[in-house]
A and B are shown apart, each in its own frame.
Chain A
Amino acid sequence: MEDKGTLWLPENASTYAGDVDALFYFIYWVSVVLFILVIGAMVYFAYKYRRRSEADRPQPIKESKLVEASWVVVPTILVAIVFTWGFQVFIKMGVAPPNAYEITVRASKWNWLFEYPNGARSNELHVPVSRPIKLKMSSIDVLHSFFVPAFRTKQDVVPNRYTYVWFEATRQDTFQVMCTEYCGQQHSTMLSQVVVQSQGDFNTWLAENLIDESATPAERGELLYNQQGCFACHSLDGTTGSGPTFQGLSGSQRAFTDGTTATADANYLREAIINPAAQVVQGFAPVMPGQYGTTLTAEEIDALVAYIQEQ
Chain B
Amino acid sequence: MSAATHSDLSQRPAIHYLNHEKGLWSWLTTVDHKRIGIMYAIVVALFFLVGGIFATLVRVELSAPGETIMGQDSYNQAFTLHAVIMVFLVIIPAVPGILGNFVLPIQIGAKDVAFPRLNLASWYIFMAGAVLAICGWLVVGKVDTGWTFYTPYSSEASDAVLWMTSAVFVAGFASIFTGINFVVTVHKMRAPGMTWNRLPLFVWAIYATAIVQVLATPVIGITMVLLFLEKFMQIGIFDPALGGDPVLFQHFFWFYSHPAVYIMILPAMGIISDLMGTFSRQQVQGYTFIALSSVAIAFLGFLVWGHHMFVAGQSAISSIIFSMLTFLIGIPTGIKVFNWVGTMYKGSVWLQTPMLYALMFLFLFTIGGFTGIMVGVLATDVHLHDTYFVVAHFHYVMMGGALIALIGGMHYWWPKITGKMYNETLGRIAALLVFVGFNLTFFTQFILGSRGMPRRYHDYELLLEQFPEFAPLHFASSIGSWILAAGLFLILFYGIHSLLRGKPASQNPWGAVTLEWTHTTTPPDPHNFHHTPLVTRGPYDFHLADDVFGPFHTGDGAGDGVGEVTEAPKPEEA
A interface residues with partner B (beta carbon < 8 Å): 1, 5, 7-10, 19-20, 23-24, 27-28, 31, 34-35, 38-39, 41-47, 49-61, 63, 67-68, 71-72, 75-76, 79-80, 82-83, 85-91, 93-94, 141-143, 145, 147, 149, 152-156, 158-161, 163, 175-176, 178-189, 191, 285-287, 290
Query: Does A182 lie within 8 Å of B450, measured CB to CB?
Result: no
Q: Does B382 contact A (CB under 8 A)?
A: yes
> Can you list 13 A-B pairs, Cβ within 8 angstroms, ordered by A?
A9-B451, A19-B379, A43-B574, A45-B341, A57-B546, A61-B345, A79-B330, A79-B331, A86-B378, A90-B382, A178-B454, A188-B454, A191-B463
State A265–B146 Cα separation when bound (angstroms): 39
Considering only residues 35-79 of chain B, those with a C-beta below 8 Å from chain A are 72-73, 76
Query: Does B454 lie within 8 Å of A180, measured CB to CB?
Result: yes
State A141–B571 Cα separation when bound (angstroms): 64
- Minimum Cβ distance to chain A for residue B447 (Å): 6
State A176–B382 Cα separation when bound (angstroms): 16
Query: Does B344 lie within 8 Å of A46, measured CB to CB?
Result: yes
Interface size on B, residues (CB 8 A): 97
Which of these, A52, A143, A188, contacts B348 with CB under 8 Å?
Answer: A52
State A65–B100 Cα separation when bound (angstroms): 33
Given contact pairs A10-B452, A45-B341, A82 touches B373 in the complex (Cβ within 8 A):
yes
Q: Within 8 Å CB of A58, what residues of B?
A: 281-282, 346-348, 542-543
Query: Does B462 lie within 8 Å of A189, measured CB to CB?
Result: yes
B interface residues with partner A (beta carbon < 8 Å): 72-73, 76, 144-146, 150, 152-153, 156-158, 240-241, 245-247, 280-283, 285-286, 311-313, 316, 319-320, 323-324, 327, 330-331, 334-335, 337-338, 341-342, 344-351, 359, 362-363, 366-367, 370-371, 373-374, 377-383, 385-387, 447, 450-452, 454-460, 462-463, 466-467, 511, 541-543, 545-546, 552, 555-557, 569, 571-574
State A149–B382 Cα separation when bound (angstroms): 10
- Smallest CB-CB A-B distances: 9 pairs: A149-B452, A47-B574, A86-B377, A89-B379, A54-B556, A56-B348, A90-B378, A188-B457, A31-B370
- Minimum Cβ distance to chain B for residue A280 (Å): 12
Given contact pairs A93-B379, A189-B459, A49 touches B324 in the complex (Cβ within 8 A):
no
Query: Does A156 lie within 8 Å of B286, measured CB to CB?
Result: no
Q: Within 8 Å CB of B546, what residues of A?
A: 57
Q: Within 8 Å CB of B462, what residues of A?
A: 189, 191
Query: Does A89 lie within 8 Å of B367, measured CB to CB?
Result: no
- Minimum Cβ distance to chain B for residue A86 (Å): 3
State A28–B375 Cα separation when bound (angstroms): 12
Which of these, B245, B346, B359, B387, contacts A180 with CB under 8 Å?
Answer: B387
Query: Does B387 lie within 8 Å of A49, measured CB to CB?
Result: no
Query: Does A163 lie within 8 Å of B313, measured CB to CB?
Result: yes
Given contact pairs A63-B285, A75-B335, A189-B459, A154 touches B386 in the complex (Cβ within 8 A):
yes
Name the CB-closest residue of A to B158.
A285
Q: Within 8 Å CB of A285, what residues of B?
A: 158
Query: Does B347 lie within 8 Å of A152, measured CB to CB?
Result: no
Which of these, B156, B378, B450, contacts A24 with CB under 8 Å?
Answer: B450
- Minimum Cβ distance to chain A for residue B508 (Å): 12
Query: Does B345 lie within 8 Å of A143, measured CB to CB?
Result: no
